[in-house]
Structure 1
Amino acid sequence: MRDKVVGRENVLWMNCERQGRAKMLRGGSVRVLRRMCALMSLSFICAFILFAAIPVSAHSTIHKAESNHQFTLEIYGNANEDDTIDMRDVTYIKLVIFGKKPETEFCDANYDGKVSMLDVVQTKLIILGKEAKLTFIDSREGYPRKIVTVEKPVKRIIPLADNQADGIKVLGAVDKVVGVGTEIKNKPILYPIMSKLPDVGNVWGAGPDIEAIISLNPDILLTYEFRPSPEELDDKLEGTDIKVVRYTFNVPKELPRVFKTLGYVLDKREEAEEFIDFFENHMNLIKERLEGLSEDEKPKVYIEWCRPYLAFNKLSGAGQLCDIAGGINIAADLTGVGSPHSLVVDPEWVVEQNPDIIIKVVGSENSGYDVDDVEGIKTVRDEIMTRPGWESINAVKNGKVYLITIELLDGPQAVVAAQYFAKWLHPELFEDLDPAAFHQEYLNRYMGINYDVKERGIFIYHPELYPDGR
């Protein structure tokens, strides 16, 4: 009997021992797992701090340490609000975190609503060109603006108009284009590759083809600040991953900022910087010669768009070119309805203003790269010279009515138009300028087409100075 009791006790003891060992093993596993998690968390934190602390190489080829451009780069991460993103922004964000600097809008590099060490990491990733997302502000002052966040890298783009297509060519990003607007489709001389891509409608007339756009699944769709309207485009793309980015590439005072921003967005920073330097160098050549010019020495200028009596104000690209070239735009301070940069004026008002020079912009039906007959542009000038009552205007009396194609004003080629404006407004100061030769240099350098501007096309017109339209 005692042996049976002892046997049962031995069995119970062994069962308890096994259960105890199992509990010990389970408890040990939990403790080990907890230690491993703690070590992993600590390792992550250390790596995070290390990455936030290490400097980006001062010899990085992505960014120059200093920049001479005069604009604010409106990309989140540009904490000190200058024209580039570099280690100074990293330092600024850290000083904001420590309460040593005031917070700026662009300190929130990862755009999560607060400034933290995560923004330091995001800014360093931007500097290195390794960011997974990028947030920036599109458009420009005077127009509706919005904050856009894009996934990086951007691989698929649709430009809706030739204005944006020119910007893409300058940046060397044609390989990212998957579809184009009708304007681009209809210009194979300027866009031999893009013109062969699918048509997604137009900024004018019937408007964009939303179904075609969605079917091509672009990351970004580039268009003007004001056309198509948000109701025609943005609202109809809501619910997709397509980002509508609104930029115009022909406004001199905005062009450097636009190219710098898209250089970051499209990973074309060096190309953007190179063009900005090219653009600013040629603009500065004009500005330097006009330095010290008094207001009395500046001619009054009336700039008219393709449509009769549609004048440009100071927000327009042509209006800014007039200012840079040393002229006084008589419509500079006028505002219109519908378009912030242009308005229809009364013909008698133009007579009262009595401009010294008239610059008329001519549409693509009578000018441009695929037009060789000068008669169309000549007819446009004749109409201006014979408008009732305009014979008393100084510009008409003195024969200072110049015509220029829209092709040289609706895109980065405005840098070429600037030279023509300077020669027309101050011929005595710019006798040595050869805008046609500069035009050719621009085409060779950025458009990459086999085209001779002295043999083909109609770009400017004046019966004595440019009787053949070139």
Structure 2
Amino acid sequence: MSVSSLARRACVLGLSALLLPLAHAAPTVLKDVVGRQVKVDLPAKRVLLGFYFEDYMAIGGEKAFDRVVGFSREAWEGWRPANWALFSAHRPSLKDLPDVGEVEAQTFSVEKVLALKPDVLILAEWQYKGLGPDVERLEAAGVPVVVVDYNMELPAHHEASTLLLGRIAGEEARARTIATEYRTAVRQVETRIAQAHLPKPRFYVEFGNKGPAEYSFSYGKGMWGQLGVLAGGENIAAPYVEWYGPMNPEKVLASRPEVIFIAGTESTRNPTAMLMGQGVDPAQSARRLQAFTQRAGWSELPAVKNQRVHGLYQGASRTVVDYTMVQYMAKAMYPTLFKDVDPQANYTRFYQRYLPVLAKGSFGLGL
């Protein structure tokens, strides 16, 4: 064999040796937030999102959505219509993404998921629990399911979920930065409150989707209940509501909350519902919020007497950026400790840094 032939053969063998690990790379084993070991080819090229759409885009960058092949549309467009309109106007291709249905409405379709051949299906923990045996069907068909969680409002889950999404999207450094910002903000709140040695204010949170005439969900564990606990408050709903559900109006009056929070979305389906969020005029939010203070018996509550009634954006909970809602609730409950903190500015700044659209509207306000 000639010298030139040997050289060519060596070159081909060397190139093959370089390409072989790429072609046959072993899947990465991820540990999700419920402790499951899941094998996923990373970075994933075909991603299906059940929830946390903004978080995935913030952590992975907009380009991460180039690899999203389907999603649960109702959980974005139906629940947060103005937010959906903002993102879909910027990125019209979102409107063309296949919809696999929504877990709570029991329209989620295993068959639609399988037809999209995703490399990974990302589910919120509540979706994972809601699907039950369908998760086993998906995994048996070769679809890895990774569970993440921002709903429980546990800092450890927030950080782990952020890092998981970063690994799936191939943006681990960006994910670490966002996770560090979250951890730093929450610890700052906790540290200041711990050092002040002040009594914990009693707070009440309600999702104001039914308007003042009917008491809607309050929160025990998770979501706004846990956010308020992180913010240093005593949740009056905790003895009566395990996860979420309405409190008896008499129990609210008897508990005499010192601070009240009413959460709302951009939805206009109910003309008296609390209105908060993207594109909402703060003056309109204030008018809706004021109406809740007119409920029977509320004029005698310490929170109403002292004008410590606040509106919150429901869409700013159960997300990595809800550290800004921890800041807002902490400032409402301990105003002297957080004069230098501007939670709404921090919320809009997160969008400026990590998302391709701007947050403009009403995200947190008091009477």
What interval of TM-score do these two structures reach, taking the shorter chain for normalisation?
A: 0.7 to 0.9
**Alignment of structure 1 residues 331-346 onto 2, 5 Å:** 331-332=237-238, 334-336=240-242, 341-346=243-248
SS of match in other structure, 1:290: helix
2:41 — aligned with what? 151
Q: Could you say what secondary structure the match of 1:223 adopts?
A: strand
How far 1:404 moved relative to its partner?
0.7
Tell me what 2:315 maps to: 407
| Backbone CA RMSD of aligned residues | 2.8
| Residues 1:334 and 1:148: Cα distance change in structure 2 (over 3 Å) | farther
Alignment of 1:22-421 (within 5 A): 132-140=26-34, 146-161=36-51, 163-172=52-61, 173-182=64-73, 183-185=75-77, 187-190=84-87, 192-193=90-91, 195-196=94-95, 197-227=97-127, 229-231=130-132, 233-234=134-135, 237=138, 239-249=140-150, 251-253=153-155, 254-294=157-197, 297-307=199-209, 308-313=215-220, 315-332=221-238, 334-336=240-242, 341-365=243-267, 366-372=275-281, 374-375=283-284, 377-378=285-286, 380-421=288-329
CA drift of 1:236 comes to 5.3
- 2:238 is aligned with what amino acid? A
Query: 3-state SS of the aligned residue for 2:122?
Result: strand
Q: Shift of residue 327 of structure 1?
A: 1.4
Distance 1:437 1:165, change over 3 A: closer
In 2, the alpha carbon distance for the partners of 1:165 and 1:132 equals: 30
Q: Greater share of strand residues, 1 or 2?
A: 2
Q: CA deviation at 1:235?
A: 5.1
Aligned positions, number:
319
1:190-237 superposed Cα distances (whole Å, 9 cap, x missing partner): 354362322222243352243332222112222221236124842553
TM-score, normalising length: structure 1: 0.61
Cα deviation, 1:134-189, whole Å, max 9, x if unaligned, reads: 3344345xxxx64433234421112123x244234323332321122213355031
* Number of the residue aligned with 1:117: none
Report the 3-state secondary structure (helix = DSSP H, G, I; strand = E; otherwise coil) of the residue aligned with 2:253. Answer: helix
Indicate if the aligned counterparts of 2:204 and 2:260 stay in contact, CA closer than 8 A: yes
1:441 equivalent to 2:341? Answer no
| 1:12-65 deviation per Cα after TM superposition (whole angstroms, max 9, x unaligned) | xxxxxxxxxxxxxxxxxxxxxxxxxxxxxxxxxxxxxxxxxxxxxxxxxxxxxx
Could you say which structure has the greater relative contact order, defined with CA pairs below 8 angstroms and 6 or more residues apart? 2
Q: Provide the rounded CA distance (Å) in 2 between the counterparts of 1:391 and 1:136.
A: 52
**8 Å Cα contact 1:207-1:232 kept in structure 2:** no
Q: Which has the larger radius of gyration?
A: 1
Aligned-residue offset at 1:300: 0.7
- The secondary structure found in structure 1 opposite 2:29 is strand
- 1: CA distance between counterparts of 2:162 and 2:139? 26
Deviation for aligned residue 1:352: 1.5
Contact 1:302 1:359 in 2 (8 A): yes
Q: Structure 2 unaligned runs (5+)? A: 1-20, 210-214, 268-274
CA drift of 1:325 comes to 1.9
SS at match of 2:121: strand
How many angstroms apart in 2 are the aligned matches of 1:266 and 1:132? 17
Q: Which runs of 5+ in 1 are unaligned?
A: 1-124, 464-470
Specify whether residues 459 and 262 from structure 1 end up closer, same or farther in structure 2 by C-alpha distance, changes over 3 A only: closer
Paired letter, 1:348: E
* Equivalent AA in structure 1 for residue 182 of structure 2: F
Q: What is the CA distance between 1:394 and its match in structure 2?
A: 1.2
Secondary structure, aligned partner of 2:70: coil
**Contact 1:164 / 1:247 at 8 angstroms: preserved in 2?**
no
TM-score after normalising by structure 2: 0.76
Kept in 2: contact 1:208–1:233 (CA 8 A): no
* Kept in 1: contact 2:139–2:145 (CA 8 A): no
Q: In the aligned structure 1, how far is the partner of 2:190 from the partner of 2:38?
A: 34
Instruction: Classify the secondary structure of the residue corresponding to 2:71.
Output: coil
Describe the shift of the 1:220–1:180 C-alpha distance in structure 2 as closer, same or farther (beyond 3 A): same
Q: Do the aligned partners of 1:311 and 1:345 also contact (CA within 8 Å) in 2? A: yes
The percentage of aligned residue pairs carrying the same residue is 25
- The 2-side partners of 1:415 and 1:364 are apart by 21
Could you tell me how far 1:412 is from its partner in structure 2? 1.7
Return the alpha-carbon distance in structure 2 between the equivalents of residues 148 and 420 of structure 1: 36
1:443: Cα distance to partner? 0.6
Q: Give the SS at the match of 2:196.
A: coil
